[in-house]
Amino acid sequence: MGNWVNIQRDADTGIELVHAHFKGFAYDPHFHSSYLIGVTELGNQQFHCRRKLVNSHQGQVFMLEPEEVHDGYAPEPLGFTYKMLHIDQDWLKQKYQGLFTQPFELEVASTLNSDPLVAQLVDASYRAMSNQEPQLMKDSYLDLLLERLAHQNLWSARENSICALPDIALKIKEILHENLYTDLDLNTLAQLAGADRFFINRVFKQAFNCAPHQYLIRLRLDQAKILLKAGIPASMVANSLCFADQSHLGRWFKRCYGLTLRQYQSACTNVLSSSR
């Protein structure tokens, strides 16, 4: 397998998604105006940054601030594969705005991070945007990632401000039911619930043992079964329930129910009449 690079851009956030594989030389010293947050999927990638030689092994997260010069190459014959998010610094600053009593700007203390949760959230955020998942899912994973990257001591005071958790969680649940056919985003959900968007996931998960976007997907899949049983074409079902397309709905449906859309609809619309 030779070198390859796949690039996408998420229209809502402007985040650039890069999935790449390199053997040997990868790229000359350069910099980006955005934050780089990536995870090494396979192999070992080496790069010079901050006057050091950095080795990022499989499962490790690498992070760079805007305009940090770096190069890249593979020291091992099989090369390395990585996923990376290019995050605009103004967008990131706006996301953190108003969260803390003092102005906050993300500082990358180390170019390497071995926190497995950060690695999982980078991958989950990448997949959610790449697969054009519902807006609430994309927002949720990105917020969880941003929260994890911020200094933990800045969140401690805010933790104590969460009150009436069951009431907020029930209100969120109501809103999700009301927005079955709307591509709800996290900011709108937070405004409707009257809660801080960074704690929406935590409050809901504490009450219902799943994140709001997971609950909404399950609601939509359950509704998809009802619509498919009514004989509505799968493409129309997917579109009405905010899936990117029929194949997107089909992938989720198969994962949850073990059946394709065609198999389920065929079984439920060709019911044998009972004989006496």
- The pLDDT assigned to 275 comes to 32
CA distance linking residue 263 with residue 257, whole number of Å: 11
Q: Above 60 in pLDDT, residue 157?
A: no
What is the 3-state secondary structure of 10-61?
A: CCCCCCEEEEEEECCEEEEEECCCCEEEEEEEEEEEEEEECCEEEEEECCCE
pLDDT at 106: 85
- Count of residues for the chain? 276
CATH fold, domain 4-135, is Jelly Rolls (2.60.120)
In this prediction, residues 226-246 reach a mean pLDDT of 93
SS3 205: helix
- Mean per-residue pLDDT, 270-276: 39
Q: What pLDDT, on a 0 to 100 scale, did the predictor assign at position 100?
A: 61
List the structure tokens of 30: 């350069």
Query: pLDDT digits over 25-61, tens only?
Result: 888 988 898 999 999 999 999 999 998 999 999 999 9
- Which option is the CATH number for 216-269: 3.90.1150.10, 3.40.50.11540, 1.10.10.60, 3.40.50.2000? 1.10.10.60
CA distance 195 to 63: 30
Per-domain residue ranges of the chain: 4-135, 216-269
The mean per-residue pLDDT over the stretch 77-92 comes to 94
Alpha helices for 50-152 (secondary structure H): 89-96, 116-130, 135-149
pLDDT per position as a tens digit, 100-125: 656 677 888 899 998 999 999 999 99
Instruction: Give the residue-averaged pLDDT of 224-228.
Output: 92
Residues 6+ apart with CB under 8 A from 53: 46, 47
Three-state DSSP state, 62: strand
Report the alpha-carbon distance of residue 40 to residue 29 in Å, rounded: 19
91 touches 11 (CB < 8 A)? no
Among 225, 171, 229, 161, residue whose Cα is nearest residue 198: 161
> H or E stretch including 255?
helix 246-257
pLDDT digits (tens, 9 = 90+) for 203-221: 888 888 889 999 999 999 9
Coil/strand/helix, residue 160: coil
Lowest mean pLDDT among 1-10, 55-64, 193-202: 193-202
Q: Which backbone phi and psi does 4 adopt, to 5 degrees?
A: -150, 150
Residue 164's pLDDT band, with cuts at 50, 70 and 90, is very low
Read off the pLDDT band of 152 (50, 70, 90): low
Q: 10 Å Cβ neighbour count for 180?
A: 15
